[in-house]
Amino acid sequence: MKLSSRDEGDVRVVALEESRLDSAGALEFKEQMRSLGAGGPRRVVLDMAQVQFLDSSGLGALVAVMKLLAPDARLEVAALSPAVAQVFALTKMDSVFTVHDSVQAALAAAPS
């Protein structure tokens, strides 16, 4: 599981540099996000531009990370591919997470 992060002012941007977030990588994703989210800015934006496939294990991992970071930080997602956006819509996760069209839009948005 490859993740990279950078701080942009009061936002930590974490890029998920994988084409899939599924059962094979969910546990490692959670562990890496725990480390990357600790001690940083209160807003964490997950750049999912490279992710083309997301299953229920991947969704579960996202929810687990959101709960893990709260209440100290807020997890938002950005740059969902059409397939991943459809999964978010079908499961109503788009009402649970703040979803941005791009990382740039997330950085420009006021904190939620």
Given CATH 3.40.250.10, say whether it is the number of domain 3-103. no
Q: What is the pLDDT of residues 13-36, one digit of tens each?
A: 999 999 999 999 999 999 999 988
So where are the chain's domains? Answer: 3-103
Model confidence, pTM? 0.94
Each residue's pLDDT expressed in tens, for the chain with a length of 112 residues: 999 999 999 999 999 999 999 999 999 999 999 988 878 899 999 999 999 999 999 999 999 999 999 888 899 999 999 999 999 999 999 999 999 999 999 999 977 6
List the one residue out of 9, 33, 16, 27 whose CA is nearest residue 80. 16
Q: What is the DSSP string of 52-66?
A: -EE-HHHHHHHHHHH
User: Rounded CA gap, 21 and 42, in Å?
Assistant: 24
In sequence order, which residues have a C-beta less than 8 Å from that of residue 110 and are 6 or more positions away? Answer: none
Inter-residue contact 93 to 80 (CB < 8 Å): no
